[in-house]
Amino acid sequence: MLDMQEISDRIEIQDLLARYTDAIDRRDWDALDRIFTDDALIDYTAMGGARGGLVEIKHFLAEALPMFETFQHLVGSSVVDIDGDEATARTICHNPMVLRGGKDPHLLVCGLWYQDSLVRTPDGWRISERVEESAYMKEEPPCPK
């Protein structure tokens, strides 16, 4: 049976995961400072991205994501395990991304899991490590006229 502290922790962690997708989809890189620890390790290499600390990843995102006109990170179920002031989470993500270009841009559809380690800080839960695990990636060409 869950006690009130664990219920509160789970709600806060779910909110943190949602705030991550909102920050990415709004291209608000500075909002990531309230999601990750200062010394976080972030590894996007499974989906062709970068690996590094928060500063490096914010720079990578700012440089790489302008190739997309728009995108959405739809996160689904999360399996969260809490042990005191530490937690792990495995969260499914479906991520359609529209590549810039012409009247009929291509659609890149990505499926992945976020594997997260989290810690409780004085400012609340933060992600201390995020590793992407690839499920699929498919580029859809424009529809024929």
pLDDT tens readout for residues 2-49: 799 999 999 999 999 999 999 999 999 999 999 999 999 999 999 999
* Within-domain flag for 100: yes
Distances (CA, A) of 136 to 5, 48, 50, 108: 36, 12, 18, 10
Strands 107-121 and 86-99, how do they pair?
A: antiparallel
Dihedral of CA atoms 24, 30, 33, 34 in degrees, nearest 10, equals -70
Number of domains making up the chain: 1
Q: Which residue range(s) make up the domain with 112?
A: 4-140
pLDDT digits (tens, 9 = 90+) for 73-124: 999 999 999 999 999 999 999 999 998 877 777 899 999 999 999 999 999 9
Is the pLDDT confidence value at 64 over 70?
yes
* Within-domain flag for 12: yes
What value does the mean pLDDT of the chain take?
Answer: 94
* Within-domain flag for 131: yes
* Within-domain flag for 145: no
pTM: 0.92
- In eight-state DSSP terms, residue 26 is T
Dihedral of CA atoms 90, 43, 134, 108 in degrees, nearest 10, equals 120
Q: What is the CATH number of the domain that holds 89?
A: 3.10.450.50
* Within-domain flag for 17: yes
In angstroms, the CA 87 to CA 116 distance is 8
